[in-house]
Chains A and B, each alone.
Chain A
Amino acid sequence: MRQLLFLGSLIFGLIIFGLISLNGILIALALPLLFYLGAAVFFGPEKPDLLMTRTLSRDSTTRAQPVEVHVALTNQGHQIEEILVEDILPKGLAAVEGDTKILTSLAPGEIFQFDYSVQGKRGIYDFGPMAVTVSDPLGITYKKSVISAEQRLLIFPDYQKLRPLSIHPPRTRDYPGPIRSRQGGAGVDFYGVREYQMGDPIRWINWKVSARHSGTLFTNEFEKERIADVGIIVDARQQSDIQRADDTLFDYSVYAAASMADAFLTAGNRVGLLVYGRGMERTFPGYGKVQRERILQSLAYARTGVNFALESLELLPTRFFPSRSQIVMISPLNPDDYGVLVRLRASGYDLILVSPDPISYEMAKYKPGNLVDTARRLATIERALLIRRVQRVGIQVVNWDVNTSLDKALTTVLAQQVRTHHVMGVVR
Chain B
Amino acid sequence: MIQKLFLLCVGIATIALVLPYALTGHWLFALIIALGGLFWWYGWSHKLPGISTLYLLGVTAFCVLGVWINLVPFYFLASLLAALTAWDLDRFDQRLNKVDRVELKHVVVRKHLIRLLFVVVLGLLVGGAALLLRFNLTFGWVLILGLVTVLGLSQVYNLFKREINKQ
Contact = CB atoms under 8 A, between A and B. Distances in A.
Interface of A: 1, 3-6, 8, 10, 12-17, 19, 21-29, 31-33, 35-36, 39, 81-82, 84, 99-105, 112, 114, 137-139
B126 A25 contact: no
Interface in B100-150: 100-104, 107-108, 111-112, 115-116, 119-120, 122-124, 126-127, 130-131, 135, 137, 142, 145-146, 149
A35 B122 contact: yes
B81 A32 contact: yes
Nearest to B100: A99
Given A29-B73, A82-B112, A114-B103, 9 more contacts: A10-B57, A28-B127, A32-B120, A36-B119, A82-B95, A84-B99, A104-B104, A137-B115, A138-B112
Contacts of A114: 101, 103
Contact of B123 (A4, A5, A35, A139): A35
Contacts of B31: none
A26 B67 contact: yes
Contacts of B57: 10
Contacts of B80: 29, 32-33
* Interface residues of chain B: helix, strand, loop or mixed (majority): helix
A35 B119 contact: yes
Contacts of B123: 31-33, 35-36
Given A1-B160, A82-B108, A104-B102, A29 B63 contact: yes
A32 B126 CA distance: 7
A137 B112 contact: yes
A8 B64 CA distance: 16
Chain B contact residues (Cβ within 8 angstroms of A): what range? 35 or more
B26 interface: no
Contact of A22 (B115, B142, B159): B142
A9 to B, nearest CB: 9
A33 B63 CA distance: 13
Nearest to B57: A10
Interface of B: 53, 56-57, 60, 63-64, 67-68, 73, 76-77, 80-81, 84, 88, 91-92, 95-96, 98-104, 107-108, 111-112, 115-116, 119-120, 122-124, 126-127, 130-131, 135, 137, 142, 145-146, 149, 152-153, 156, 159-160, 163
A105 B84 contact: no
Contacts of A35: 119, 122-123, 126-127
B78 to A, nearest CB: 10
Given A15-B145, A16-B149, A35-B122, A29 B102 contact: no
A1 B56 CA distance: 17
Contacts, number: 131
29 contacts: A1-B160, A4-B156, A8-B156, A12-B156, A13-B60, A19-B142, A19-B149, A21-B68, A22-B137, A23-B68, A26-B64, A27-B130, A28-B73, A31-B126, A32-B80, A32-B123, A33-B80, A35-B127, A36-B88, A36-B119, A36-B123, A39-B115, A99-B100, A101-B98, A103-B96, A104-B104, A137-B115, A138-B116, A139-B91
A252 to B, nearest CB: 35
Nearest to B148: A15
Contacts of A84: 95, 99
Contacts of B156: 4, 8, 12
Contact of A112 (B60, B99, B102, B103): B103
A38 B92 CA distance: 18
Contacts of B101: 99, 101-103, 114
Nearest to A105: B108
B126 A14 contact: no
B131 A14 contact: no
A16 B68 CA distance: 14
B77 A6 contact: no
A215 to B, nearest CB: 92
A26 to B, nearest CB: 6
